[in-house]
Amino acid sequence: MASLPLLPRHRHHPLNPDSTPASRGRPHGRPRTTSHQPRRCQSGSPREITTITAVTTPADRRAALDRAARLRQLTETDQDAIRLAQDPQFGRWLEQITTTGGCAHPIHLTGRTTTRDAATGEILHHYDTRNEPGERLLVRCRNRRSSVCAPCSRLHAGDTYHLVQAGLTGGKTVPDKVREHPRLFVTLTAPSFGPVHGAADGKRCRPRRDAGECDHGRPLGCPAIHATGDRLIGQPLCPGCYDYPAHVLWHANAGQLWDRFTRAVRRHLATAAGLAQSRFPDHARLSFAKVAEYQKRAAVHVHAVVRLDGPHGPGTPPPPSASADLLITAVRAAARSVVVRSPYSPAAGEHALRWGTELDARPLRATDNTLGLADDAVAAYVAKYVTKGASDTAAGTDHRLLTWDDIAAVPATPHVQALMRTCWHLGGLPEYAPLRLRSWAHTLGYRGHILTKSRAYSTTYTALRTERADHHHAGLQLPDTPDAITDTHWRYLGSGHTPGATLIAAGIAQDLATNRKIAREVFSA
Protein backbone atom coordinates (compact mmCIF):
# COMPACT_ATOMS: atom_id res chain seq x y z
CA MET A 1 0.00 0.00 0.00
CA ALA A 2 1.40 3.40 -0.91
CA SER A 3 2.38 5.72 1.96
CA LEU A 4 -0.34 8.18 2.86
CA PRO A 5 0.47 11.89 3.22
CA LEU A 6 0.26 13.13 6.77
CA LEU A 7 -1.77 16.32 6.73
CA PRO A 8 -1.61 18.85 9.59
CA ARG A 9 -4.70 19.07 11.77
CA HIS A 10 -5.57 22.76 12.30
CA ARG A 11 -8.75 24.44 13.33
CA HIS A 12 -8.51 26.53 10.13
CA HIS A 13 -7.17 23.91 7.78
CA PRO A 14 -5.23 25.25 4.79
CA LEU A 15 -7.11 22.79 2.59
CA ASN A 16 -10.48 24.28 3.52
CA PRO A 17 -11.42 27.08 1.08
CA ASP A 18 -13.74 28.62 3.68
CA SER A 19 -10.86 29.13 6.08
CA THR A 20 -8.69 30.91 3.49
CA PRO A 21 -8.95 34.72 3.82
CA ALA A 22 -10.32 36.55 0.79
CA SER A 23 -7.89 38.63 -1.23
CA ARG A 24 -10.25 41.17 -2.71
CA GLY A 25 -9.24 44.80 -2.80
CA ARG A 26 -5.53 44.13 -2.48
CA PRO A 27 -2.85 44.40 -5.10
CA HIS A 28 -1.85 41.12 -6.63
CA GLY A 29 1.14 39.55 -4.93
CA ARG A 30 1.01 41.76 -1.80
CA PRO A 31 0.81 39.75 1.45
CA ARG A 32 -2.18 40.38 3.65
CA THR A 33 -1.63 41.35 7.26
CA THR A 34 -4.41 40.98 9.82
CA SER A 35 -4.41 42.15 13.41
CA HIS A 36 -6.85 41.09 16.08
CA GLN A 37 -7.76 44.16 18.18
CA PRO A 38 -8.14 43.92 21.96
CA ARG A 39 -11.64 42.95 23.07
CA ARG A 40 -13.37 44.48 26.02
CA CYS A 41 -14.54 42.39 28.91
CA GLN A 42 -17.88 42.86 30.63
CA SER A 43 -16.33 45.42 33.01
CA GLY A 44 -15.46 47.62 30.05
CA SER A 45 -11.71 47.49 30.43
CA PRO A 46 -9.70 46.17 27.53
CA ARG A 47 -8.34 42.57 27.82
CA GLU A 48 -4.74 42.06 26.86
CA ILE A 49 -4.28 39.45 24.17
CA THR A 50 -1.49 38.59 21.79
CA THR A 51 -1.76 40.07 18.33
CA ILE A 52 -1.60 37.36 15.65
CA THR A 53 -0.27 38.22 12.25
CA ALA A 54 -0.87 35.76 9.38
CA VAL A 55 0.96 36.15 6.11
CA THR A 56 -0.46 34.30 3.09
CA THR A 57 0.67 34.73 -0.47
CA PRO A 58 -1.59 34.11 -3.49
CA ALA A 59 0.67 31.25 -4.57
CA ASP A 60 0.15 29.51 -1.23
CA ARG A 61 -3.59 30.00 -1.46
CA ARG A 62 -3.71 28.60 -5.00
CA ALA A 63 -1.69 25.54 -3.92
CA ALA A 64 -4.02 24.97 -0.98
CA LEU A 65 -7.10 25.29 -3.18
CA ASP A 66 -5.65 22.89 -5.75
CA ARG A 67 -4.87 20.37 -3.03
CA ALA A 68 -8.35 20.67 -1.53
CA ALA A 69 -9.88 20.14 -4.95
CA ARG A 70 -7.81 16.98 -5.44
CA LEU A 71 -8.88 15.65 -2.06
CA ARG A 72 -12.54 16.23 -2.88
CA GLN A 73 -12.08 14.11 -6.00
CA LEU A 74 -10.94 11.11 -3.92
CA THR A 75 -13.32 8.36 -2.94
CA GLU A 76 -14.81 8.16 0.53
CA THR A 77 -12.49 5.25 1.31
CA ASP A 78 -9.35 7.18 0.37
CA GLN A 79 -10.46 10.25 2.32
CA ASP A 80 -11.12 8.10 5.38
CA ALA A 81 -7.71 6.42 5.03
CA ILE A 82 -6.03 9.85 4.98
CA ARG A 83 -8.02 10.85 8.07
CA LEU A 84 -6.76 7.78 9.90
CA ALA A 85 -3.18 8.44 8.84
CA GLN A 86 -3.40 11.95 10.33
CA ASP A 87 -4.27 10.59 13.76
CA PRO A 88 -1.34 10.86 16.21
CA GLN A 89 -2.12 7.32 17.44
CA PHE A 90 -2.14 5.82 13.96
CA GLY A 91 0.84 3.59 14.78
CA ARG A 92 -0.87 2.07 17.79
CA TRP A 93 -4.06 1.55 15.75
CA LEU A 94 -2.03 -0.38 13.15
CA GLU A 95 -0.68 -2.57 15.96
CA GLN A 96 -4.22 -3.42 17.03
CA ILE A 97 -5.27 -4.28 13.47
CA THR A 98 -2.20 -6.48 13.06
CA THR A 99 -2.92 -8.23 16.36
CA THR A 100 -6.39 -9.14 15.12
CA GLY A 101 -4.85 -10.54 11.93
CA GLY A 102 -6.64 -7.96 9.79
CA CYS A 103 -10.09 -9.05 11.04
CA ALA A 104 -12.81 -7.73 8.73
CA HIS A 105 -15.37 -7.09 11.51
CA PRO A 106 -13.51 -6.57 14.80
CA ILE A 107 -15.34 -6.17 18.11
CA HIS A 108 -14.85 -2.80 19.83
CA LEU A 109 -14.47 -3.01 23.62
CA THR A 110 -13.83 -0.45 26.32
CA GLY A 111 -12.79 -1.18 29.87
CA ARG A 112 -9.91 -2.09 32.08
CA THR A 113 -8.20 -5.00 33.82
CA THR A 114 -6.18 -4.79 37.04
CA THR A 115 -4.14 -7.54 38.70
CA ARG A 116 -3.33 -7.12 42.40
CA ASP A 117 -1.41 -9.06 45.02
CA ALA A 118 -4.04 -10.58 47.31
CA ALA A 119 -1.82 -10.21 50.38
CA THR A 120 -0.40 -6.69 49.97
CA GLY A 121 -2.85 -5.10 47.54
CA GLU A 122 0.03 -4.08 45.29
CA ILE A 123 -0.95 -3.50 41.66
CA LEU A 124 1.01 -5.99 39.57
CA HIS A 125 -0.49 -5.11 36.18
CA HIS A 126 -3.00 -2.57 34.92
CA TYR A 127 -4.47 -1.99 31.48
CA ASP A 128 -7.00 0.65 30.50
CA THR A 129 -8.41 1.41 27.06
CA ARG A 130 -8.40 5.16 27.78
CA ASN A 131 -4.88 5.25 26.35
CA GLU A 132 -5.91 3.44 23.14
CA PRO A 133 -6.99 5.07 19.86
CA GLY A 134 -10.61 6.03 20.25
CA GLU A 135 -10.43 4.73 23.84
CA ARG A 136 -11.28 1.24 22.65
CA LEU A 137 -9.65 -2.14 22.07
CA LEU A 138 -10.19 -4.19 18.91
CA VAL A 139 -10.53 -7.98 19.20
CA ARG A 140 -11.28 -10.68 16.62
CA CYS A 141 -14.85 -11.42 15.57
CA ARG A 142 -14.01 -15.17 15.38
CA ASN A 143 -16.48 -15.80 12.57
CA ARG A 144 -15.86 -19.18 10.95
CA ARG A 145 -17.27 -18.21 7.53
CA SER A 146 -14.67 -17.15 4.99
CA SER A 147 -17.33 -15.09 3.18
CA VAL A 148 -17.78 -12.97 6.33
CA CYS A 149 -14.20 -12.70 7.66
CA ALA A 150 -11.40 -14.48 5.84
CA PRO A 151 -8.68 -13.90 8.51
CA CYS A 152 -10.81 -15.29 11.37
CA SER A 153 -12.05 -18.21 9.26
CA ARG A 154 -8.44 -19.10 8.48
CA LEU A 155 -7.69 -19.19 12.21
CA HIS A 156 -10.82 -21.28 12.84
CA ALA A 157 -9.79 -23.72 10.11
CA GLY A 158 -6.39 -24.10 11.79
CA ASP A 159 -8.05 -24.86 15.13
CA THR A 160 -10.32 -27.41 13.44
CA TYR A 161 -7.34 -29.09 11.81
CA HIS A 162 -5.57 -29.54 15.15
CA LEU A 163 -8.81 -30.64 16.84
CA VAL A 164 -9.45 -33.36 14.25
CA GLN A 165 -5.82 -34.42 13.91
CA ALA A 166 -5.43 -34.79 17.67
CA GLY A 167 -8.25 -37.34 17.63
CA LEU A 168 -6.49 -39.27 14.85
CA THR A 169 -2.81 -39.23 15.80
CA GLY A 170 -2.76 -38.05 19.42
CA GLY A 171 -1.66 -34.86 21.10
CA LYS A 172 -3.61 -32.15 22.95
CA THR A 173 -4.30 -34.48 25.94
CA VAL A 174 -4.97 -37.44 23.57
CA PRO A 175 -2.42 -40.30 23.83
CA ASP A 176 -0.47 -41.38 20.74
CA LYS A 177 -1.80 -44.95 21.05
CA VAL A 178 -5.12 -43.72 19.65
CA ARG A 179 -3.65 -44.18 16.19
CA GLU A 180 -3.89 -47.96 16.67
CA HIS A 181 -7.65 -47.83 17.37
CA PRO A 182 -10.16 -48.70 14.61
CA ARG A 183 -10.87 -45.43 12.76
CA LEU A 184 -13.00 -44.67 9.72
CA PHE A 185 -13.70 -41.74 7.45
CA VAL A 186 -17.44 -41.92 6.74
CA THR A 187 -19.56 -39.96 4.24
CA LEU A 188 -23.35 -39.99 4.60
CA THR A 189 -25.54 -38.33 1.97
CA ALA A 190 -29.12 -37.16 1.69
CA PRO A 191 -31.63 -39.27 -0.25
CA SER A 192 -32.95 -38.29 -3.64
CA PHE A 193 -35.82 -35.81 -3.69
CA GLY A 194 -36.04 -35.79 -7.46
CA PRO A 195 -33.71 -36.00 -10.50
CA VAL A 196 -31.27 -33.09 -10.89
CA HIS A 197 -28.70 -32.04 -13.49
CA GLY A 198 -25.20 -33.25 -12.74
CA ALA A 199 -21.64 -33.10 -14.06
CA ALA A 200 -20.16 -36.44 -15.12
CA ASP A 201 -16.60 -35.50 -16.20
CA GLY A 202 -17.35 -34.84 -19.84
CA LYS A 203 -20.16 -37.37 -20.09
CA ARG A 204 -23.80 -36.72 -20.81
CA CYS A 205 -25.87 -35.55 -17.87
CA ARG A 206 -28.80 -37.98 -17.79
CA PRO A 207 -28.93 -39.88 -21.09
CA ARG A 208 -32.27 -41.64 -21.43
CA ARG A 209 -33.47 -43.34 -24.61
CA ASP A 210 -37.18 -42.73 -25.07
CA ALA A 211 -37.35 -41.19 -21.58
CA GLY A 212 -40.56 -39.35 -22.30
CA GLU A 213 -41.92 -36.46 -20.27
CA CYS A 214 -43.17 -35.99 -16.74
CA ASP A 215 -46.69 -34.96 -15.77
CA HIS A 216 -45.64 -31.32 -16.12
CA GLY A 217 -44.48 -31.73 -19.73
CA ARG A 218 -40.74 -31.66 -19.00
CA PRO A 219 -38.27 -34.26 -20.36
CA LEU A 220 -37.15 -36.93 -17.91
CA GLY A 221 -33.63 -37.00 -19.33
CA CYS A 222 -30.85 -34.55 -20.25
CA PRO A 223 -28.43 -35.36 -23.09
CA ALA A 224 -26.30 -32.25 -22.51
CA ILE A 225 -22.68 -32.25 -21.31
CA HIS A 226 -22.47 -29.67 -18.51
CA ALA A 227 -19.28 -27.75 -17.89
CA THR A 228 -17.97 -27.42 -14.35
CA GLY A 229 -19.38 -23.93 -13.79
CA ASP A 230 -22.76 -24.54 -15.45
CA ARG A 231 -25.55 -23.08 -13.30
CA LEU A 232 -27.81 -26.00 -14.28
CA ILE A 233 -25.74 -28.42 -12.19
CA GLY A 234 -27.76 -29.35 -9.12
CA GLN A 235 -31.01 -27.88 -10.44
CA PRO A 236 -34.03 -30.23 -10.70
CA LEU A 237 -35.09 -31.44 -14.13
CA CYS A 238 -38.66 -30.55 -13.16
CA PRO A 239 -39.28 -28.23 -10.20
CA GLY A 240 -42.90 -29.37 -10.13
CA CYS A 241 -41.90 -33.01 -9.56
CA TYR A 242 -39.19 -32.19 -6.99
CA ASP A 243 -40.19 -33.02 -3.40
CA TYR A 244 -39.34 -29.70 -1.73
CA PRO A 245 -41.18 -30.42 1.57
CA ALA A 246 -39.22 -33.67 2.02
CA HIS A 247 -35.94 -31.85 1.29
CA VAL A 248 -36.65 -29.16 3.91
CA LEU A 249 -37.89 -31.62 6.54
CA TRP A 250 -34.85 -33.85 5.99
CA HIS A 251 -32.61 -30.87 6.69
CA ALA A 252 -34.57 -29.97 9.80
CA ASN A 253 -34.21 -33.54 11.16
CA ALA A 254 -30.63 -34.23 10.04
CA GLY A 255 -29.35 -33.81 13.60
CA GLN A 256 -31.83 -36.36 14.92
CA LEU A 257 -30.89 -38.72 12.09
CA TRP A 258 -27.22 -38.51 13.10
CA ASP A 259 -28.07 -39.13 16.76
CA ARG A 260 -30.05 -42.26 15.87
CA PHE A 261 -27.25 -43.34 13.53
CA THR A 262 -24.62 -43.28 16.31
CA ARG A 263 -26.97 -45.17 18.63
CA ALA A 264 -27.54 -47.78 15.94
CA VAL A 265 -23.79 -48.20 15.43
CA ARG A 266 -23.35 -48.90 19.15
CA ARG A 267 -26.26 -51.34 19.07
CA HIS A 268 -24.79 -53.29 16.13
CA LEU A 269 -21.35 -53.39 17.77
CA ALA A 270 -22.88 -54.69 21.01
CA THR A 271 -24.82 -57.35 19.11
CA ALA A 272 -21.66 -58.46 17.27
CA ALA A 273 -19.85 -58.80 20.61
CA GLY A 274 -22.73 -60.71 22.19
CA LEU A 275 -23.51 -57.91 24.64
CA ALA A 276 -26.68 -56.17 25.68
CA GLN A 277 -26.82 -52.60 24.44
CA SER A 278 -26.85 -51.29 28.01
CA ARG A 279 -23.53 -53.08 28.68
CA PHE A 280 -21.72 -51.64 25.65
CA PRO A 281 -20.29 -48.57 27.54
CA ASP A 282 -18.56 -50.99 29.93
CA HIS A 283 -16.52 -52.47 27.08
CA ALA A 284 -16.08 -49.79 24.39
CA ARG A 285 -16.84 -46.20 23.49
CA LEU A 286 -17.71 -44.65 20.12
CA SER A 287 -16.12 -41.24 19.40
CA PHE A 288 -16.59 -39.05 16.37
CA ALA A 289 -16.14 -35.63 14.78
CA LYS A 290 -18.34 -34.65 11.84
CA VAL A 291 -18.70 -31.72 9.46
CA ALA A 292 -21.69 -30.85 7.25
CA GLU A 293 -21.30 -29.75 3.63
CA TYR A 294 -23.83 -28.49 1.09
CA GLN A 295 -23.88 -30.32 -2.22
CA LYS A 296 -24.64 -28.73 -5.57
CA ARG A 297 -28.27 -29.79 -5.25
CA ALA A 298 -28.41 -27.74 -2.00
CA ALA A 299 -28.67 -30.86 0.17
CA VAL A 300 -26.40 -31.44 3.16
CA HIS A 301 -24.18 -34.47 3.41
CA VAL A 302 -21.94 -35.42 6.34
CA HIS A 303 -18.22 -36.21 6.53
CA ALA A 304 -17.28 -37.89 9.81
CA VAL A 305 -14.26 -39.39 11.54
CA VAL A 306 -15.51 -42.36 13.60
CA ARG A 307 -13.23 -44.04 16.17
CA LEU A 308 -13.73 -46.99 18.51
CA ASP A 309 -12.05 -46.62 21.93
CA GLY A 310 -11.95 -48.50 25.20
CA PRO A 311 -14.56 -47.89 27.92
CA HIS A 312 -12.76 -44.82 29.29
CA GLY A 313 -12.08 -43.06 26.01
CA PRO A 314 -8.91 -42.72 23.93
CA GLY A 315 -6.68 -43.57 26.89
CA THR A 316 -7.85 -47.17 26.98
CA PRO A 317 -7.58 -49.76 24.16
CA PRO A 318 -10.73 -51.11 22.48
CA PRO A 319 -11.78 -54.76 22.95
CA PRO A 320 -9.53 -57.34 21.21
CA SER A 321 -12.35 -58.25 18.81
CA ALA A 322 -12.72 -54.65 17.59
CA SER A 323 -11.45 -53.97 14.07
CA ALA A 324 -11.97 -51.55 11.22
CA ASP A 325 -13.94 -54.17 9.25
CA LEU A 326 -16.29 -54.70 12.19
CA LEU A 327 -16.80 -50.94 12.48
CA ILE A 328 -17.50 -50.62 8.72
CA THR A 329 -20.14 -53.36 8.94
CA ALA A 330 -21.82 -51.61 11.88
CA VAL A 331 -21.76 -48.23 10.11
CA ARG A 332 -23.35 -49.59 6.94
CA ALA A 333 -26.03 -51.50 8.84
CA ALA A 334 -26.87 -48.46 10.98
CA ALA A 335 -27.12 -46.14 7.98
CA ARG A 336 -29.66 -48.46 6.32
CA SER A 337 -31.77 -49.00 9.42
CA VAL A 338 -32.36 -45.59 10.99
CA VAL A 339 -35.47 -43.58 10.13
CA VAL A 340 -37.10 -40.43 11.49
CA ARG A 341 -40.78 -39.77 10.85
CA SER A 342 -41.95 -36.20 10.55
CA PRO A 343 -45.19 -35.07 12.24
CA TYR A 344 -48.29 -35.60 10.14
CA SER A 345 -49.47 -32.48 8.36
CA PRO A 346 -52.65 -32.09 6.29
CA ALA A 347 -50.61 -29.95 3.88
CA ALA A 348 -47.46 -32.09 3.53
CA GLY A 349 -48.45 -35.48 4.90
CA GLU A 350 -45.98 -37.68 6.81
CA HIS A 351 -42.41 -38.30 5.66
CA ALA A 352 -40.09 -41.18 6.53
CA LEU A 353 -36.66 -39.54 6.53
CA ARG A 354 -33.59 -41.73 5.93
CA TRP A 355 -29.97 -41.47 4.81
CA GLY A 356 -29.24 -41.72 1.12
CA THR A 357 -28.11 -44.90 -0.56
CA GLU A 358 -24.68 -43.46 -1.37
CA LEU A 359 -22.45 -44.24 1.63
CA ASP A 360 -18.67 -44.33 1.87
CA ALA A 361 -16.75 -45.78 4.82
CA ARG A 362 -12.98 -46.14 4.49
CA PRO A 363 -10.42 -47.03 7.19
CA LEU A 364 -7.55 -44.74 8.13
CA ARG A 365 -4.07 -46.21 8.06
CA ALA A 366 -2.38 -46.77 11.39
CA THR A 367 1.18 -46.55 10.00
CA ASP A 368 2.82 -45.41 6.80
CA ASN A 369 3.06 -49.03 5.63
CA THR A 370 -0.64 -49.89 5.98
CA LEU A 371 -3.48 -49.20 3.59
CA GLY A 372 -6.03 -46.45 4.12
CA LEU A 373 -6.44 -42.72 4.06
CA ALA A 374 -3.76 -40.44 5.52
CA ASP A 375 -4.57 -38.73 8.81
CA ASP A 376 -3.29 -35.32 7.73
CA ALA A 377 -5.32 -35.40 4.53
CA VAL A 378 -8.54 -36.18 6.41
CA ALA A 379 -7.92 -33.46 8.99
CA ALA A 380 -7.23 -30.91 6.26
CA TYR A 381 -10.33 -32.04 4.35
CA VAL A 382 -12.59 -31.50 7.37
CA ALA A 383 -10.95 -28.15 8.19
CA LYS A 384 -11.55 -26.93 4.64
CA TYR A 385 -15.30 -27.43 4.83
CA VAL A 386 -15.75 -25.99 8.32
CA THR A 387 -15.13 -22.45 7.02
CA LYS A 388 -17.75 -22.66 4.28
CA GLY A 389 -21.19 -21.20 4.76
CA ALA A 390 -24.38 -21.67 2.82
CA SER A 391 -23.56 -18.72 0.56
CA ASP A 392 -20.18 -20.21 -0.48
CA THR A 393 -21.89 -23.08 -2.28
CA ALA A 394 -24.82 -20.95 -3.49
CA ALA A 395 -27.06 -23.02 -1.18
CA GLY A 396 -28.41 -20.17 0.93
CA THR A 397 -27.20 -17.05 2.63
CA ASP A 398 -25.24 -16.20 5.78
CA HIS A 399 -27.90 -13.91 7.28
CA ARG A 400 -31.41 -14.68 8.44
CA LEU A 401 -34.46 -13.79 6.40
CA LEU A 402 -37.00 -11.63 8.20
CA THR A 403 -39.84 -11.44 5.69
CA TRP A 404 -41.20 -13.35 2.71
CA ASP A 405 -40.04 -10.56 0.39
CA ASP A 406 -36.42 -11.06 1.53
CA ILE A 407 -36.30 -14.37 -0.32
CA ALA A 408 -36.61 -12.71 -3.72
CA ALA A 409 -33.62 -10.47 -2.90
CA VAL A 410 -31.29 -13.40 -2.18
CA PRO A 411 -28.78 -13.89 -5.05
CA ALA A 412 -29.51 -17.59 -5.43
CA THR A 413 -30.85 -19.99 -8.02
CA PRO A 414 -34.61 -20.56 -8.41
CA HIS A 415 -34.10 -23.99 -6.82
CA VAL A 416 -32.62 -22.49 -3.64
CA GLN A 417 -35.27 -19.78 -3.49
CA ALA A 418 -37.95 -22.47 -3.83
CA LEU A 419 -36.44 -24.27 -0.82
CA MET A 420 -36.50 -21.03 1.17
CA ARG A 421 -40.14 -20.42 0.28
CA THR A 422 -40.94 -23.98 1.32
CA CYS A 423 -39.28 -23.33 4.69
CA TRP A 424 -41.34 -20.17 5.09
CA HIS A 425 -44.58 -21.92 4.14
CA LEU A 426 -44.06 -24.99 6.35
CA GLY A 427 -42.79 -22.81 9.19
CA GLY A 428 -46.23 -21.20 9.39
CA LEU A 429 -47.94 -24.54 10.10
CA PRO A 430 -48.52 -25.35 13.80
CA GLU A 431 -47.38 -28.99 13.47
CA TYR A 432 -43.91 -27.81 12.38
CA ALA A 433 -43.56 -24.98 14.91
CA PRO A 434 -40.87 -26.82 17.01
CA LEU A 435 -38.62 -26.95 13.94
CA ARG A 436 -38.51 -23.12 13.62
CA LEU A 437 -38.22 -23.39 9.86
CA ARG A 438 -38.68 -19.68 9.21
CA SER A 439 -35.74 -18.84 11.46
CA TRP A 440 -33.60 -21.30 9.46
CA ALA A 441 -34.90 -20.52 6.00
CA HIS A 442 -31.53 -18.93 5.10
CA THR A 443 -29.85 -22.36 5.59
CA LEU A 444 -32.71 -24.22 3.85
CA GLY A 445 -34.00 -25.66 7.11
CA TYR A 446 -30.70 -27.14 8.33
CA ARG A 447 -30.45 -26.36 12.05
CA GLY A 448 -27.29 -28.19 13.09
CA HIS A 449 -23.78 -26.93 13.69
CA ILE A 450 -21.32 -27.22 10.84
CA LEU A 451 -18.90 -29.20 13.05
CA THR A 452 -19.85 -31.34 16.05
CA LYS A 453 -17.90 -33.94 17.99
CA SER A 454 -18.36 -36.35 20.84
CA ARG A 455 -17.06 -35.40 24.26
CA ALA A 456 -14.11 -37.80 24.35
CA TYR A 457 -12.94 -37.44 20.75
CA SER A 458 -10.20 -34.87 21.39
CA THR A 459 -9.64 -31.37 22.73
CA THR A 460 -12.06 -28.44 22.40
CA TYR A 461 -12.03 -25.07 20.66
CA THR A 462 -12.02 -23.39 24.07
CA ALA A 463 -8.89 -25.24 25.13
CA LEU A 464 -7.10 -24.36 21.89
CA ARG A 465 -7.99 -20.67 22.22
CA THR A 466 -6.93 -20.63 25.87
CA GLU A 467 -3.59 -22.19 24.95
CA ARG A 468 -3.06 -19.58 22.24
CA ALA A 469 -3.96 -16.73 24.63
CA ASP A 470 -1.54 -18.08 27.25
CA HIS A 471 1.18 -18.19 24.59
CA HIS A 472 0.57 -14.52 23.74
CA HIS A 473 0.46 -13.50 27.40
CA ALA A 474 3.79 -15.23 28.02
CA GLY A 475 5.48 -12.39 26.14
CA LEU A 476 4.10 -9.76 28.52
CA GLN A 477 6.46 -10.91 31.33
CA LEU A 478 3.79 -10.62 34.01
CA PRO A 479 4.86 -11.46 37.58
CA ASP A 480 4.10 -15.05 38.57
CA THR A 481 2.09 -14.58 41.75
CA PRO A 482 -0.20 -17.50 42.71
CA ASP A 483 -2.30 -15.32 45.06
CA ALA A 484 -2.99 -12.60 42.47
CA ILE A 485 -6.53 -11.29 42.01
CA THR A 486 -7.64 -9.93 38.64
CA ASP A 487 -10.46 -7.40 38.40
CA THR A 488 -11.87 -6.81 34.91
CA HIS A 489 -14.59 -4.58 33.54
CA TRP A 490 -15.41 -4.59 29.81
CA ARG A 491 -18.22 -3.08 27.79
CA TYR A 492 -19.24 -3.62 24.17
CA LEU A 493 -19.14 -0.52 21.97
CA GLY A 494 -19.75 -1.83 18.46
CA SER A 495 -18.12 -3.74 15.63
CA GLY A 496 -16.78 -3.32 12.12
CA HIS A 497 -14.54 -0.85 10.29
CA THR A 498 -14.90 2.50 8.60
CA PRO A 499 -14.30 2.43 4.80
CA GLY A 500 -10.66 3.50 5.12
CA ALA A 501 -10.01 1.09 7.98
CA THR A 502 -11.49 -1.74 5.90
CA LEU A 503 -8.97 -1.02 3.12
CA ILE A 504 -6.01 -0.94 5.52
CA ALA A 505 -7.13 -4.07 7.38
CA ALA A 506 -7.50 -5.98 4.09
CA GLY A 507 -3.95 -5.00 3.15
CA ILE A 508 -2.62 -6.20 6.52
CA ALA A 509 -4.52 -9.50 6.19
CA GLN A 510 -3.08 -10.01 2.70
CA ASP A 511 0.45 -9.30 3.93
CA LEU A 512 0.07 -11.80 6.79
CA ALA A 513 -1.30 -14.43 4.39
CA THR A 514 1.65 -13.87 2.03
CA ASN A 515 4.12 -14.20 4.91
CA ARG A 516 2.54 -17.49 5.97
CA LYS A 517 2.72 -18.80 2.41
CA ILE A 518 6.39 -17.90 2.11
CA ALA A 519 7.12 -19.48 5.51
CA ARG A 520 5.43 -22.74 4.44
CA GLU A 521 7.44 -22.81 1.20
CA VAL A 522 10.69 -22.23 3.08
CA PHE A 523 9.81 -24.85 5.69
CA SER A 524 8.87 -27.47 3.09
CA ALA A 525 11.94 -26.80 0.93
Q: Identify the CA nearest to 97 among candidates 138, 129, 154.
A: 138
CA distance 342 to 355: 14
Cα end-to-end span (Å), the chain: 29
The per-residue pLDDT for range 20-41, each reduced to its tens digit, is 434 434 444 444 444 344 333 3
- Phi and psi at residue 292, to the nearest 5°: -100, 145
Mean pLDDT (whole number) for 142-165:
88
CA distance 298 to 456: 32
Higher-pLDDT residue of 298, 58: 298
Measured CA distances, 359 to 106, 294, 329, 364, 450 (Å): 41, 16, 12, 16, 19
pLDDT of residue 146: 82
The per-residue pLDDT for range 336-389, each reduced to its tens digit, is 999 999 999 998 899 999 999 999 999 987 666 666 678 888 888 888 877 776
pLDDT of residue 389: 61
pLDDT of residue 472: 74
Contact 125, 481 (CB under 8 A): no
Mean pLDDT (whole number) for 1-19:
40
